């Protein structure tokens, strides 16, 4: 049998580079918000599943929170249910909420669970309703209106924000070989169901678990400067400066705010990474270079 020495040496180099990271993060929790292209393209879906399974096998504790906006949108379209958005949030009436639960808690969640299991892991699918994992309250949006002296309060239906994470079921998973895959649906104490932004859920879970890392997969390279150059490492003070100068704006702002909140509340670092890159999660966690922007507390 012919041995390709260059290929073998490259594999050895990759493994030795990963070793100190594995040693450092063994037993640590890594919360990953899974969405975007990484969740829809076949090759990227398979590479993500392999990353998660490998992380669990080498002693890390991955927790996955997934989105599903495009899938919800497609299903609503098939049912001729009109979608309306306010500040990027889907207005969710009772009919739409039924679809959200079916798509997020059923189709999307179980597809991810199945793929991880096929790859050799032991994933368990959850929604925030299971064991009252995610407690929530109705989100009301304030919108400034020139004709009014006070902001207009807009009710967008069954859209919620996290009030509490009950970590018992997550602790059970972290102390076993189970990998939790969580759909961002929560309930209030009266049993009302809410659709919640997946970034916000991932951040809240990372904060509750005092995770080592919060990783947000996106469809961009990460945080860029005014010239479009990737900024691979930022602290919270630098991020605030970039926001003030409007370098960070638009759709990146909510993700950045989620990352800032996480690192200010006990998460060691937050990462906004390019989910369009195969094995993006492993590259960010277990290599020197990474594939996105790492955000750390100001004191670091």
DSSP codes of every residue in 194-220: EE--HHHHHHHHHHHHT-SEEEEEESS
* Buried-exposed string 267-297: b where 16+ CB fall within 10 A, e elsewhere: bbbbbbbbbbbbbbbbbbbbeeebbbbbbbb
Whether the pLDDT of residue 18 is over 70: the answer is yes
Query: Stretch 193-221: mean pLDDT, rounded?
Result: 94
Task: Say what the pLDDT of residue 45 is.
Answer: 95
Tell me the CATH number for domain 22-296.
3.40.1160.10
Q: Across the chain, what does the average pLDDT equal?
A: 89
Whether the pLDDT of residue 147 is over 60: the answer is no
CA 53 vs. chain centroid, Å, equals: 17
List, for residues 241-265, the tens digit of each pLDDT value.
Answer: 888 888 888 778 888 889 999 999 9
Question: Of the given ranges (4-18, 200-214, 226-240), which has the lowest mean pLDDT?
Answer: 4-18
Number of alpha carbons in the 13 Å side-chain half-sphere of residue 286: 23
Domain segments of the chain as ranges: 22-296
Neighbours of 50 (CB within 10 A): 19
Confidence band, pLDDT 50/70/90 cuts, at residue 33: very high
Q: What is the pTM of this model?
A: 0.91
List, for residues 217-234, the tens digit of each pLDDT value.
Answer: 998 888 888 888 888 889
* Tokens matching residue 23: 């040693």
């Amino acid at each position: 049998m012919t041995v390709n020495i260059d290929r073998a040496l490259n594999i050895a180099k990759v493994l030795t580079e990963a070793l100190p990271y594995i040693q450092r993060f063994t037993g640590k929790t890594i919360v990953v918000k899974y969405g975007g292209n990484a969740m829809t393209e076949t090759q990227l879906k398979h590479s993500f599943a392999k990353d998660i399974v490998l992380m669990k096998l080498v002693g890390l504790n991955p927790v996955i929170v997934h989105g599903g906006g495009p899938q919800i949108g497609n299903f609503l379209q098939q049912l001729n249910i009109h979608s309306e958005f306010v500040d990027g949030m889907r207005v969710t009436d009772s009919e739409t909420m039924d679809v959200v639960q079916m798509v997020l808690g059923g189709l999307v969640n179980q597809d991810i669970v199945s793929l991880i299991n096929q790859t050799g892991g032991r994933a368990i699918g959850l929604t925030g309703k299971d064991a009252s994992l995610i407690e929530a309250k109705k989100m009301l949006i304030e919108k400034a209106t020139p004709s009014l002296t006070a902001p207009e309060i807009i009710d967008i239906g069954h859209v919620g924000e996290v009030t509490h994470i009950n970590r018992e079921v997550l602790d059970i998973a972290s102390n076993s070989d189970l990998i939790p895959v969580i759909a961002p649906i929560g309930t209030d104490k009266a049993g009302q169901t809410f659709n919640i932004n997946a970034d916000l859920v991932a951040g809240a879970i990372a904060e509750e678990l005092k995770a080592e890392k919060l990783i947000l997969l996106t469809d961009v390279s990460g945080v860029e400067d005014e010239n479009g150059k990737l900024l691979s490492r930022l602290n919270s003070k630098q991020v605030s400066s970039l926001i003030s100068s409007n370098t960070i704006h638009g759709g990146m702002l909510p993700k950045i705010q989620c990352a800032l909140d996480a690192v200010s509340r006990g998460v060691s670092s937050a990462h906004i990474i390019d989910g369009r890159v195969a094995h993006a999660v492993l590259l960010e966690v277990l290599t020197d270079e990474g594939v996105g922007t790492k955000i750390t507390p100001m004191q670091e």
